[in-house]
Structure 1
Amino acid sequence: MKKLKNKELRVFVSFFLTAILGAGTNFITQIPYKYLFLHLGFADKPAFNFSVSAGYLTATVVSFVPAKVFAFSAKESGNTRRESVKFLTIALLAWGIQVGVSSLAFDHLANRYFAEQSLLVREKSSHVVGMGVSFLANYFGHKFLTFRSTGIYNRIKTRNGRQN
């Protein structure tokens, strides 16, 4: 039992460290993306939402290999294509969570209770809240689906008559 807890803790910490890379990418790239969307003529609120999305998607691309290799020790699984599809599916779900929670936090917490703070502080604080919630969605999704054989692929393959 203790060994299992240590392994689970190691996987969680490894994923957390991998997520820091993704979060850093997400957090930093969101700012230039926002200015890009503002330059393209978007209003402030849509530019914020689109920039959170663009930052998240950039971080997803950056995070796949470290998550596969370091966090979930799936370097030699032989299922990289399948894992990348599942990784993207989980990432898209967590992306929706991050954008939604960031937007809600901005509208209902940051603007309401921290209106005296600068717009940048309110946006980045809201973004961090969204990132925290999406981290949990990503962790559990990748742990229980992405880097684990669920048997779904094999069932689909046999129903379609494919043997490869």
Structure 2
Amino acid sequence: MSALKESKIFNVKDLIAYFLVAGTGVIIQLISSSLIQDWFDISWSDSIVPSYIVGFIVGFILTKLFAFDARRTNQARREMVKFLMVAGVSLAITKMFTVGSFWLATDFFGMEIYTVKLPFAKKEVNLTEMGSYLIGMGFSFVSNYILHKTFTFKSTGFYNRLKVLIR
């Protein structure tokens, strides 16, 4: 057996399931980002947070049901609090690496901004922004997988300690 299959964090079944769930989240986030830009006439970088929130809601449901075999844990409230905490970290990672990689490509390396007109789209798609967004999501994917696997959908005692602090 390979070390990847034997690892408790990186087992193949969970990794594939999470990749499929996260891929669905990426598609939802990209579509909602584009719609939010159009509806509210905001920049692509300003659409990251609201589209992330849309993806967060769908992501929690799909992750709980399909990714980590947590559909029958009866811990939805606990998992949602933890999921929200991980989502906050993930949002910061997504925003930082998206904006950072765009700056690095365009300002630091002087790369041109590339756009393409798709036959079914009303406006041009900025490939440089899209690539930067995918880089941010990629870094977020890795951190999310590890944090959800080791924290969100695992009983760590954290939620009970948090409830005591809040009361």
Gaps of 5+ in 1: none
Structure 2 residue aligned with 1:8:
11
Q: 2:72 aligns with which of 49, 71, 76?
A: 76
Rate the CA distance shift 1:152–1:127 in 2: closer, same or farther, 3 A: same
Contact 1:37/1:50 (CA < 8 Å) preserved in 2? no
Gaps of 5+ in 2: 116-124
CA distance in 2, matches of 1:153, 1:67: 19
Is residue 54 of structure 1 aligned with residue 50 of structure 2? yes
Deviating beyond 6 angstroms after TM superposition, the runs of 4 or more aligned structure 1 residues are none
CA distance in 2, matches of 1:116, 1:24: 22
Higher relative helix content: 1
TM-score, length of structure 1 as denominator length: 0.82
Spell out the pairing of 1:132-143 with structure 2 (5 A cutoff): 132-143=138-149
Listed one character per residue, the Cα deviations across residues 52-105 of structure 1 (whole Å, up to 9, x for unaligned) are 112211111111111112111111111100101111110111011101110011
Please report the RMSD computed on the Cα atoms of aligned residues, expressed in angstroms: 2.4
Structure 1 residue aligned with 2:120:
none
Listed one character per residue, the Cα deviations across residues 33-52 of structure 1 (whole Å, up to 9, x for unaligned) are 122342xxx5xxxx222211
Contact 2:90/2:144 (CA < 8 Å) preserved in 1? yes
Q: 2:126 aligns with which of 120, 128, 131?
A: 120
Is residue 150 of structure 1 aligned with residue 156 of structure 2? yes
TM-score, length of structure 2 as denominator length: 0.81
- Matched to 2:137, the amino acid is M
Rate the CA distance shift 1:120–1:18 in 2: closer, same or farther, 3 A: same
Listed one character per residue, the Cα deviations across residues 95-119 of structure 1 (whole Å, up to 9, x for unaligned) are 1110111001111114545315127
Rate the CA distance shift 1:50–1:76 in 2: closer, same or farther, 3 A: same
State the identity as a percent: 31
Q: How many residue pairs get matched?
A: 153
Structure 1 residue aligned with 2:119:
none
Secondary structure of the residue aligned to 1:50 is coil
